[in-house]
Amino acid sequence: MRRFLAVLLFCCVPLAALAAPAAPVLVLGDSLSAAHGIPIETGWVTLLSKRLDTGEPVARRAVVNASISGETTSGGLARLPALLSTHKPGIVVVELGANDGLRGLPLPDIRKNVASLVKLSRDAGARVVLVGIELPINYGPQYRDGLRAMYRDVAAEFNVPLVPFLLEGVALDPALMQDDGLHPVAAAQPKVLETVWAVLKDVLAAP
């Protein structure tokens, strides 16, 4: 009888324990997601990883931060196939375009690359969250508005959720920005995470 109970316990209990873990979240970004100028453990992606590691309020997931300072949409596009093959993410957070914009690259080229990033991720079976960025006002309203519209258009074309501006509530507060005026300080990172989380949480909770 005791042996029977032991076998029954072995058969029943591991079902949940052996269930396949949720596929990871891959963050493909630039310096804004690579914790430029601050300790890596204080960056918003690390904070996201800590939140998802608890399994609350959504299923537990690993987070792969594939962000590189200075990354462009073309650089991300070159790296993405290998990242998808290696990590097999369930969700890809695309946070690229700021460096393209700062370099004044043609908007149609940026749009083409961002659309390709979304399509490659979708074709690999991952859901996508697109994260937009705003440029400093000295770039002029036409280019700034065009970049802003580009994110909206790609999100609408592929029907993917959009975080309109990663640094919402942060970029215009000098106390939350580093001296370069482009990167948030460590104290701003929880706020950056909440901006992403407002959109990402629904994607994480979806079956």
Catalytic positions are: 31, 180, 183
Which has the closest alpha carbon to 72: 45, 39, 95, 49?
Answer: 95
Are 196 and 202 in contact by the 8 Å Cβ rule? The answer is: no
C-alpha span between 135 and 100 (Å, rounded): 10
**3-state SS string over the chain?**
CHHHHHHHHHHHCHHHHCCCCCCCEEEEECCCCCCCCCCHHHCHHHHHHHHHHCCCCCCCCCEEECCCCCCCHHHHHHHHHHHHHHHCCCEEEEECCHHHHHCCCCHHHHHHHHHHHHHHHHHCCCEEEEECCCCCHHHCHHHHHHHHHHHHHHHHHHCCCEECCCCCCCCCCHHHECCCCCCECHHHHHHHHHHHHHHHHHHHHCC
